[in-house]
Structure 1
Amino acid sequence: MVFSVALSGKLTKKLVENLGAGRHGDGGGLYLVVDPSGARRWIVRVVIKGQRNRKGAPLRTDFGLGGANIVTLNQARERALEYRRMARQGLNPRYNAAREAPTFEELAQQVHIERLPTWKNAKHGAQWINTLRDYAFPKIGRLPVDAVGQPEVLMCLSPIWTEKHETARRLSQRIKIVLDVAKSKGFRSGENPVTTISEAGVLPKVKAKPKHHEAMRWQDVPALYADLAGRSAISAKALMFTCLTGARTGEVLGMTWDEVDAERRIWTCPAVRMKSGESHRVPLTDEMLAVVEPLRAMGSKYVFEGQKRHKPLSNMSMLMLLRRMQIEGVTVHGFRSTFRVWAAEIARAPREVAEMSLAHKVGSEVERAYSRSDLLDRRRELMIAWSRFASGNQPISALD
């Protein structure tokens, strides 16, 4: 009968779960490393007998033992002991340790945690893991990552490939990432099965149908704006401001007062809320300021405060307002298209001015590298004309 030896050290299960950022020693060269993001992983430091580094000193090396959410404290101690034994025999653990492959779900969860600091926002991070949770984990989640091949990947993708093609496409990308990470950690070898499936054309070609946000005719905007102006709800003010600026819902609802420079008449939306990942300056017109300035009296952090103090309106607030107004078949995002059509057909604005007003990237990367201006002054002229038209303050005539 084989008895398991109970190993001990300085750390406890509770400490492993709650220690802050830094490197925390357990003893015997075993450390818990906690990243600023909260991700936790094990490493062991050993000195390999008889081997020297480039400077002639004893070869001291750190080896990763896996994430603390996958590898328990006792498992980490056992692996650390195994590594120390090999090192004392002059064996490099990097090439001699027997590594047990984690399951697909275990590694996917670890990849998700490690990438938390890179997500554009919490919603995107949640979508990444939720897609795997819904379509991959039920079928291959318990399989070791080295056992996932083409049949297993197809088992996840085939049922939704045509009906939910965009979801399936994203699922395949995320499965590929997990398997690529598995290979980089030594748990797999050979080509990624997702790549093989794609290159072989195993799955049928699906012609993507472009989805367009339903937009209101520009001719109907002044009547809508007049209706909104007669309403006191914050959602009405937010929708008025959205119409005037052509900004996205998340950009408007996340707007804080420290982003507004009333003196220079500029709203600077930070990169973290921009789809492009770059900050964007919006010229503020008289009509825009007339919407937001009275809201300062609320003393909130957010310009458009929701039902909870110092919290923004919900993402659905403006769309629900449109529905209560019995305006069907129109989305909030569609007002960007409304502005773009007006800018081209009525204002006859240059393409680069209209596109930059919507925070779209214009030209190739090389062209953008040489063009440092965001055309703020020219965009201001266009937004003044649009604001006057949309608010009914002045009939529009073609811009020069």
Structure 2
Amino acid sequence: MTRKLVENLGPGRHGDGNGLYLVVDPSGARRWIVRVVVKGQRNRKGGPLRTDFGLGGADIVTLHQARDRALEYRRMAKQGLNPRFNVKSEIPTFEEIAQQVHIDRLPTWKNAKHGQQWINTLRDYAFPKIGRMPVDSIGQPEVMMCLSPIWTEKHETARRLMQRMKTVLDVAKSKGFRSGENPVTGIKDAGVLPKVKVKPKHHNSMRWQDVPAFYADLNDRNAMAAKALMFTCLTGSRTGEVLGMRWEEIDLEARLWSCPAERMKAGDVHRVPLTDEMLAIIEPLKAMQSDYVFEGQKRHKPLSNMSMLMLLRRMKVEGVTVHGFRSSFRDWATEATNTPREVAEVSLAHTIGSNVERAYARSDLLEKRRLLMEKWSCFVTRADATVVHLPTNSGLPGK
């Protein structure tokens, strides 16, 4: 058997020789077992005592390690010692299990940044204290040792650390390296950590009344970051959604931008109606023949995530974030129009209603949102002196 075979063999029991087998479950889970005959010992029928012993999962135990352990078991059996009662199993450390969990879950994260944040929290606050400990020796005192120093000072970080430690210990138990209750669960149920009231932190936003003047200043600038920020203001989209926008996502004829699910926070495709002003920003950029609408300094690469924020700083706009323009749009929709809540929320790609409600209300209210975005564009560009005629059944007021 080779390492590649270990990774790619299909369901079944595959022999390596000398009683060592790789067992692949239909689910794809892989584990090692060794079959030995204990010298001088008999089974219930009087025959030689032949027994299978688990050596651990193939994602933790390498082929070389499995062969070494299998050899140890055979030597014991040859001496008449039952490995079940004489072998000292090797338990992986907390860090070893955590690193493997990180690798296994990488495909499930939206991007590499989220995956790196997951392991970085453990690296900074758990590994220095319990990283080298065998995973079966970690109890409530060890968990508290990691959480207590940051529970009140960095509560959000501590809460995420708690959740990630629980995941690692749950996985360790599922692989047979632990038993009993997860110590993180015990700590939560007992309420031994103090209650911390955390005030929600909101992105600083600009007053919606000030957006037109700011937009006019932006319009006098030729930098790509300015174009991206103008588009962001008009669409109410998130930074990553705008900067990652590709030409293939835009239907100029239908005046529509479809942001793919993998770039959306809610994980669903979001359709954005494009107004004349939005199209006036992006259509000239097509001449660059780039993969991305807002190309950065490197060819066929998008602008940096910090580009628009740095532009705000150069403009000396204090106390405002790029994300805050979503709030400016939402406040305008509430205070300056009679827009139904669901139309404004869907415009920001927010999830509304319960799972049952969303199962029946599947429309993304595109046409109503198109009217709202037209009205917002007119306001932002100071073109709202022009009457915007809205159907009486649109739910949105005309001028």
Correspondence for 1:274:
264
3-state DSSP class of the match of 1:65?
Answer: strand
Label 1:236 to 1:146 Cα distance change in 2 as closer, same or farther (>3 A): same
State the alpha-carbon separation in 2 of the partners of residues 107 and 332 from structure 1: 38
Correspondence for 1:58:
none
CA RMSD in angstroms, aligned pairs only: 3.3
Match of 1:285 among 258, 272, 275: 275
Once the two structures are TM-superposed, the CA of residue 189 in structure 1 deviates from its matched residue by 1.1
Q: Does 1:66 align with 2:54?
A: no
State the alpha-carbon separation in 2 of the partners of residues 20 and 325 from structure 1: 58
Correspondence for 1:4:
none
State the alpha-carbon separation in 2 of the partners of residues 42 and 87 from structure 1: 25
Q: Does 1:206 align with 2:196?
A: yes
State the alpha-carbon separation in 2 of the partners of residues 20 and 189 from structure 1: 27
Unaligned runs of 5+ in 1: 1-9, 34-39, 52-60
- With normalisation by structure 2, the TM-score equals 0.84
Correspondence for 2:179:
189
Correspondence for 1:337:
327
Once the two structures are TM-superposed, the CA of residue 394 in structure 1 deviates from its matched residue by 2.2
Q: Does 1:357 align with 2:347?
A: yes
Q: Does 1:164 align with 2:158?
A: no
State the alpha-carbon separation in 1 of the partners of residues 149 and 295 from structure 2: 43
3-state DSSP class of the match of 2:231?
Answer: helix
3-state DSSP class of the match of 2:317?
Answer: coil
State the alpha-carbon separation in 1 of the partners of residues 53 and 378 from structure 2: 65
Once the two structures are TM-superposed, the CA of residue 23 in structure 1 deviates from its matched residue by 3.3
Correspondence for 1:381:
371
State the alpha-carbon separation in 2 of the partners of residues 350 and 41 from structure 1: 50
Q: Does 1:124 align with 2:122?
A: no
State the alpha-carbon separation in 2 of the partners of residues 217 and 356 from structure 1: 21
Once the two structures are TM-superposed, the CA of residue 121 in structure 1 deviates from its matched residue by 1.2
Per-residue CA deviations over 1:320-361 (Å, capped at 9, x if unaligned) read: 000000001000000000000000110221000000000001
Number of matched pairs? 371
Query: Identity rate of aligned residues, in percent?
Result: 70
Are the aligned partners of 2:36 and 2:73 in contact in 1 as well (CA < 8 Å)? no
State the alpha-carbon separation in 2 of the partners of residues 380 and 96 from structure 1: 73
State the alpha-carbon separation in 2 of the partners of residues 294 and 97 from structure 1: 72
3-state DSSP class of the match of 2:248?
Answer: helix
Are the aligned partners of 1:43 and 1:62 in contact in 2 as well (CA < 8 Å)? no
Q: Does 1:306 align with 2:302?
A: no
Correspondence for 2:96:
106
Label 1:334 to 1:46 Cα distance change in 2 as closer, same or farther (>3 A): same
Once the two structures are TM-superposed, the CA of residue 30 in structure 1 deviates from its matched residue by 5.4
Correspondence for 1:56:
none
State the alpha-carbon separation in 1 of the partners of residues 118 and 77 from structure 2: 39
Label 1:131 to 1:26 Cα distance change in 2 as closer, same or farther (>3 A): farther
Correspondence for 2:217:
227
State the alpha-carbon separation in 2 of the partners of residues 96 and 213 from structure 1: 60
State the alpha-carbon separation in 2 of the partners of residues 292 and 64 from structure 1: 59
Are the aligned partners of 1:44 and 1:65 in contact in 2 as well (CA < 8 Å)? yes
Label 1:391 to 1:27 Cα distance change in 2 as closer, same or farther (>3 A): same
Correspondence for 1:154:
144
Unaligned runs of 5+ in 2: 38-42, 44-51, 388-395
Label 1:188 to 1:47 Cα distance change in 2 as closer, same or farther (>3 A): closer
Once the two structures are TM-superposed, the CA of residue 41 in structure 1 deviates from its matched residue by 8.9
Are the aligned partners of 1:260 and 1:268 in contact in 2 as well (CA < 8 Å)? yes
Larger-gyration structure (1/2): 2
Once the two structures are TM-superposed, the CA of residue 125 in structure 1 deviates from its matched residue by 0.4
Once the two structures are TM-superposed, the CA of residue 32 in structure 1 deviates from its matched residue by 11
Q: Does 1:390 align with 2:380?
A: yes
Correspondence for 1:246:
236
State the alpha-carbon separation in 1 of the partners of residues 233 and 211 from structure 2: 8
State the alpha-carbon separation in 2 of the partners of residues 31 and 113 from structure 1: 21
Q: Does 1:261 align with 2:251?
A: yes
Report runs of 4+ in structure 1 exceeding 3 Å deviation.
18-21, 23-27, 29-33, 40-49, 61-68, 70-73, 79-88, 92-99, 395-398
Once the two structures are TM-superposed, the CA of residue 27 in structure 1 deviates from its matched residue by 3.6
Once the two structures are TM-superposed, the CA of residue 93 in structure 1 deviates from its matched residue by 9.8
3-state DSSP class of the match of 1:115?
Answer: helix
Label 1:64 to 1:229 Cα distance change in 2 as closer, same or farther (>3 A): farther
Label 1:32 to 1:324 Cα distance change in 2 as closer, same or farther (>3 A): farther
Q: Does 1:176 align with 2:145?
A: no
Q: Which amino acid aligns with 2:56?
A: L
Match of 1:296 among 261, 286, 292: 286
Are the aligned partners of 1:41 and 1:65 in contact in 2 as well (CA < 8 Å)? no
Are the aligned partners of 2:102 and 2:115 in contact in 1 as well (CA < 8 Å)? yes
Aligned pairs (5 A) from 1:131-142:
131-142=121-132
State the alpha-carbon separation in 2 of the partners of residues 26 and 127 from structure 1: 40
3-state DSSP class of the match of 2:171?
Answer: helix
Correspondence for 2:135:
145
- With normalisation by structure 1, the TM-score equals 0.84
Are the aligned partners of 1:42 and 1:64 in contact in 2 as well (CA < 8 Å)? no
State the alpha-carbon separation in 2 of the partners of residues 280 and 96 from structure 1: 60
Label 1:149 to 1:45 Cα distance change in 2 as closer, same or farther (>3 A): closer
Q: Which amino acid aligns with 1:268?
A: S
